[in-house]
Structure 1
Amino acid sequence: MSGASVSSLSKSGSSLPRLLLLATGGTIAGRASDVTSLNHYSAGVIAAEELLQSVPQLRGLAAIEAEQIANVDSADLQFDHWRRLVARIREALAVDPDLAGVVITHGTNTLEETAWLLQLLIDDPRPVVLVGAMRPASALSADGPLNLFQAVQVAVSSEARGQGVLVVMDGQIHDARDVTKVATQGVGAFASPGRGPLGWVDDAGVYLSTASGTRQVPFAELALPQQWPQVPIIYGCAEPEPLILTACLKAGVQGLVLTGTGAGQLSVGERRALEAWTGPRPLMLRANRCGSGPVHGGEQDAELGLLPAGLLSPQKARVLLLLAVMAGLDQEQLLQLLPITLVQDEQL
């Protein structure tokens, strides 16, 4: 790929499975001036090749080719990084039938959003595994090296085939739709509320149930544009300011996620702002701020132009809306997709 640095880690003449590692930065590639510093460090400063060399045990698992897509704190990840990442994964899987899978090193702050984006875009049974770290590479007891090793374990395993996009953190294997970062510190900062992890990985192997059926990849053929649509998230709270919602509508945003309280409930002020709006309505999803539990359809949803986000977090609802807007879907077409926000293991 143009502009990407490439390195490799493999045994000479190896018949090991081949993987592509795409590095984007984050804490796993971070460094501090002191080994005890866990909060003050620079993310995204270690190159992909150095990450590989720091875990020589990977040589026994796979022949790995690494490319640097970006090297940033994931809070600074841009849509262009996503576009390049998707293009490279699609290209690699399309042109190389012998490639076993893809591993992506990523910052933890927006890792779950990237994982869900790829779940909706990458249609291939071979594993795509995201991995990060909660401690910089320079720290005592850094978690990145083991996380990376275990991500590669999962990516080359037959059990991971057909599972879609996976996240491996702290020995747990998570599904891209359900996983979320639930803590600001500690190596066990990722969870899948309501469902739990899909499986586990340790020195004895990979533990995953066999993938069930063919998963839905609704945007597998979508070409990602240079310019992405505007899709803000509005957060619900006590006495929210309706001016924010009205400003978004007046600005002509193409999608909008409303993060309601409780089970996705909007305030009277927010409902009145939607009722009073006479202009064109963007695609709108109603999510919740609780961290787990579904949002079901409400009595006023049709009147207000809303659709329920199901089990999707606000940030993942936004990813779905971004792609829906790019694909030119209308509300009825988006409605047909919404079962993927509740049931991922069954075909529609």
Structure 2
Amino acid sequence: MAQRLNHNSLPILSIGALGGTVSMRTTQPGSGAQPVITGEALLDGISQLHEGLDVHIETLCLVPSASLDFNLLLEVLIWAQEQVKLGALGIVITQGTDTLEETAFFLDLLWDADVPLVLTGAMHPSDHPGADGPANLLDASRVALDTQSRKRGVLVVMNGQIHQPLHVRKCSSITLDAFNSPFFGPAGLMLENRVLYLRKACARTVLPMPRSIHHKVALLPATLSADTVLLEHVLALGYDALVVSAFGAGHVSVEWVDLIEQVTTEIPVLVASRTGSGPTAEASYGFIGSEMDLIDRGALMCGFLCPYKARILIWLLIGCGHARDIAKYVQRLGFKAAEA
């Protein structure tokens, strides 16, 4: 941990760099972009970030976000908690966008400080003519230091919008407007370099730090004419829970239902919609493989909680010893939180 220097008693902004596209550039012709730009180098050319601030930046790692994992995120969380103890008024994490929606949700479920923790990245590498990293980093820093952001937990700032981790999704692979919050919209906007929130902060769900990290949660997608081989072996492979990324409002094929029922007798089974927008149903369809049928067989519907975030929620609940409370937390995050 670098020593904090704040001789002028300026507001402290802490930035942790993890890599991703925001840190990438092409090192050789034809080689493709690589994560080589350190956190310190990210600040080059963003003079506004130093105006009236004590900016503390550390390079925590330099990897594409597809290679992040839960263990590393727990280390990032501890680093961010230390920044709060050292007096930071706002914290920004830069990372790749491929897993941004998942890391934001993971950290938000564990972030218990009033200080804002803001995640951002870039869709274009730093040497691209339309590089968006500097603007996103500047916006994220302004959001992190804004007093309106306090007690809102973790926030995602991309392309001039502020999103809540529970709702945000990456909905495009390349374009600058890759992030949105289906059904709910952004929580706020950047307007003329000012932070404008569109709704009030609401009650948050914060879990204890995991005591165990060696458990596994499987995620199986329902697809047209899918076989049952993976489902047949979920228990034998030692998984502690299963998330089914189901058709539509929470449906699977008739070939899957008996196997799912068997699995529910041993481990929790959550069913989320694979559509990317909209909730699972609870009482609309009654055919074999429908949401009503799966509920009768012991599965739990996830509401607005997407499959990826359902997997993270179960992993954390098992890790912190709250596995028996899965239904309560799914109801709170997948249904009640959607009403707030």
TM-score (norm 1): 0.88
Aligned pair partner of 1:126 in 105, 115, 125:
115
In structure 1, how many angstroms separate the alpha carbons of the residues matched to 2:71 and 2:264? 31
Deviation at 1:344, TM superposition (A): 2.8
1:311 aligns with 2:304: yes
In structure 1, how many angstroms separate the alpha carbons of the residues matched to 2:337 and 2:150? 16
**Deviation readout 1:127-159 (Å, 9 max, x if unpaired):** 110000000011112100000000001111112
Aligned pair partner of 2:44 in 37, 42, 53:
53
Structure 2 unaligned regions, length at least 5: 283-290
Deviation at 1:330, TM superposition (A): 3.6
In structure 2, how many angstroms separate the alpha carbons of the residues matched to 1:250 and 1:109? 30
Q: Which amino acid aligns with 1:259?
A: S
Tell me the SS of whatever aligns to 2:16: strand
**Deviation readout 1:208-231 (Å, 9 max, x if unpaired):** 1463454221x1x22454x43211
Residues 1:100 and 1:346: Cα distance change in structure 2 (over 3 Å): farther
Residues 1:61 and 1:273: Cα distance change in structure 2 (over 3 Å): farther
1:157 aligns with 2:146: yes
1:271 aligns with 2:257: yes
Tell me the SS of whatever aligns to 2:114: coil
**Deviation readout 1:202-257 (Å, 9 max, x if unpaired):** 4341101463454221x1x22454x4321121011111111111111221200111
Aligned pair partner of 2:71 in 64, 80, 86:
80
Aligned pair partner of 2:60 in 58, 65, 69:
69
Which residue is 1:343 aligned to?
336
1:287 aligns with 2:280: no
**Contact 2:295/2:301 (8 A) holds in 1:** no
Tell me the SS of whatever aligns to 2:245: strand
Residues 1:7 and 1:30: Cα distance change in structure 2 (over 3 Å): farther
Deviation at 1:16, TM superposition (A): 3.6
Q: Which amino acid aligns with 2:317?
A: A
Deviation at 1:278, TM superposition (A): 7.1
Q: Which amino acid aligns with 2:237?
A: A
CA RMSD of the aligned region, Å? 2.4
**Contact 2:24/2:125 (8 A) holds in 1:** yes
In structure 2, how many angstroms separate the alpha carbons of the residues matched to 1:258 and 1:76? 23
How many aligned positions are there? Answer: 331
Deviation at 1:14, TM superposition (A): 4.5
Structure 1 unaligned regions, length at least 5: none
Residues 1:321 and 1:105: Cα distance change in structure 2 (over 3 Å): same
Which residue is 2:25 aligned to?
31
Deviation at 1:343, TM superposition (A): 3.2
Q: Which amino acid aligns with 1:329?
A: H
Which residue is 2:238 aligned to?
252
Aligned pair partner of 1:222 in 197, 206, 209:
209
Q: Which amino acid aligns with 2:21?
A: T
In structure 2, how many angstroms separate the alpha carbons of the residues matched to 1:125 and 1:214? 12
Q: Which amino acid aligns with 2:204?
A: R
1:261 aligns with 2:243: no
Which residue is 1:296 aligned to?
281
Q: Which amino acid aligns with 1:142?
A: A
Q: Which amino acid aligns with 1:287?
A: A
1:163-174 equivalence runs, <5 A: 163-174=152-163
Which residue is 2:190 aligned to?
201
Deviation at 1:346, TM superposition (A): 7.5
Deviation at 1:334, TM superposition (A): 0.9
Deviation at 1:33, TM superposition (A): 4.5
Which 4+ residue blocks in structure 1 deviate beyond 4 angstroms?
12-15
Give the share of equivalent positions with the same residue, in percent: 33
Q: Which amino acid aligns with 1:283?
A: P
Q: Which amino acid aligns with 1:289?
A: R
Q: Which amino acid aligns with 2:116?
A: P
**Deviation readout 1:36-86 (Å, 9 max, x if unpaired):** x9x9311x2111111123422211263211122221000111222112112
In structure 2, how many angstroms separate the alpha carbons of the residues matched to 1:239 and 1:307? 23
**Contact 1:263/1:288 (8 A) holds in 2:** yes
Tell me the SS of whatever aligns to 2:292: coil
Tell me the SS of whatever aligns to 1:342: helix
Deviation at 1:183, TM superposition (A): 0.5
In structure 2, how many angstroms separate the alpha carbons of the residues matched to 1:278 and 1:102? 42
Tell me the SS of whatever aligns to 1:124: coil
Aligned pair partner of 1:180 in 148, 169, 174:
169
**Contact 2:211/2:320 (8 A) holds in 1:** no
Residues 1:234 and 1:60: Cα distance change in structure 2 (over 3 Å): same
Q: Which amino acid aligns with 2:67?
A: D
In structure 2, how many angstroms separate the alpha carbons of the residues matched to 1:324 and 1:206? 33
